[in-house]
Amino acid sequence: MSPVRRCSRTACGRPAVATLTYVYADSTAVLGPLATYAEPHCYDLCAEHSERLTAPRGWEVVRLTDGSAPARPSGDDLEALANAVREAARPHDRAADPGGGRTANPVEAGRRGHLRVLRSPEP
């Protein structure tokens, strides 16, 4: 027996990349990443058959993305990263505080490297 799981479609011998499960109570077909184990009530599909999948009229197809696939960063992600780098590079005033070691920020209780300890703001 081959260790590679094959597409469940008749006469298709390509390797499976996705698993299809039907939720009959909700009239939904769920197509997600390849399941860890082959289940008798699920169907393994190759890339071509998973892309061309359609559901019966009145049914909904839910396509779950593979969390292990690398996602392309958006412009917002890159801007947030740049802002975080700028914030980390900004010099901080580390002068001794006469208030018993409290920082200038009333919510920040302490710092340890890049981590901050925050206390709840008072009402």
Instruction: State the chain's mean pLDDT as an integer.
Output: 79
Let me know: does 15 contact 4? Beta carbons within 8 Å. Answer: yes
- In the block, residue with structure tokens 């027996």: 1
Quick one: average pLDDT of 33-39? 87
In this predicted structure, the answer to whether residue 3 has a pLDDT above a threshold of 80 is no
pTM value surpassing 0.85? no
In this predicted structure, the answer to whether residue 25 has a pLDDT above a threshold of 80 is yes
- Measure the CA dihedral 55/60/61/66, to 10°: -170
Share of the chain above pLDDT 70, in %: 71
- In the block, residue with structure tokens 């996705």: 18
Pair type for strands 108-112 and 28-33? unpaired
